[in-house]
Structure 1
């Protein structure tokens, strides 16, 4: 079910951003935010192949911009210089180490993906890669050094480009 979520920025502007249930990624909710110049990210992460473990696509690069507001995680992910992406995730793991998937992001197949994910209280074994829990969201905001984003492709199934959130 699609719900509207009001976002206050600087106390002056209100914006209705569509979001879905905890496990779903909403396509293109940030377009209106960007058009109104309301984009103020909590994090701005650079991705490259040297940060992957082991290093991967050295010609590739990317950027993740995200913000967290309450239990809402919104992001814009862009990549270039890599073959067609097949997946994108945020993982738990510090620099130089690989770790488990925390949440699956939209795949930037045409170079960019964006969306908003509402954290939920619970997840199951079958949906743990697509459901962000409130505890995981808290970990992203409080321990960003222990989280990274990466984008996968067929040539580099373990990840082509990567960037630490903190």
Structure 2
């Protein structure tokens, strides 16, 4: 299954997994590519991040897939302006929790302007990030 097919399947699965009470939830996605990190990222790497923002319950959930990189050790949402980590998504790539708490204010900021944030997937070979991609919105 190629990356585009896996991404479409993950997007559909993310929509199906949202509870009926997910009104106000927002699905944001990022195609994570090495080119975003040139020249420091993994030239063979690619992936997809599906992130559900749920400000009503202060939760951020993520499903992240990847290919062409060593096993990830961490993943985060970073603020584009200064690179600061704003949401830890590590459980999404290490087999841990797929959801994490975040302030409603932060979640609303990400939802209002997802392009100001990006997902970065790290591993031991590329501790600064193997692949990354900007977030984009899909309103539900």
TM-score (ref. length: structure 2): 0.69
Which secondary structure state, in structure 1, belongs to the residue aligned with residue 99 of structure 2? strand
> Retained in 2: the 8 A contact 1:144–1:165?
yes
Q: Verify: 1:140 aligned to 2:123, yes or no.
A: no
Residues 36, 53 of structure 1: alpha-carbon distance in 2 compared, 3 angstrom cutoff = closer
Q: TM-score, normalised by structure 1?
A: 0.60
Structure 1 segments (4+ residues) deviating >3 Å: 33-41
Distance 2:38 2:87 in 1: 19
What is the CA RMSD across the aligned residues, in angstroms? Answer: 2.8
Compare CA radii of gyration and give the structure with the larger one: 1
Pick closer, same or farther for the CA change 1:114–1:45 going to 2, 3 Å: farther
- Asked which structure has the greater RCO (Cα within 8 Å, sep 6+), the reply is 2
Where structure 1 has 5 or more consecutive residues not aligned to the other structure, the ranges are: 1-32, 119-131
Indicate the SS of the match to 1:158.
Answer: coil
Give the SS at the match of 2:60: strand
* Equivalences for residues 1-166 of structure 1 within 5 A: 34=13, 37-38=16-17, 42-52=27-37, 54-69=39-54, 70=56, 71-93=58-80, 99-105=83-89, 106=91, 108-109=93-94, 115-118=98-101, 132-166=102-136
Partners of 1:81 and 1:114 in 2: CA distance: 23
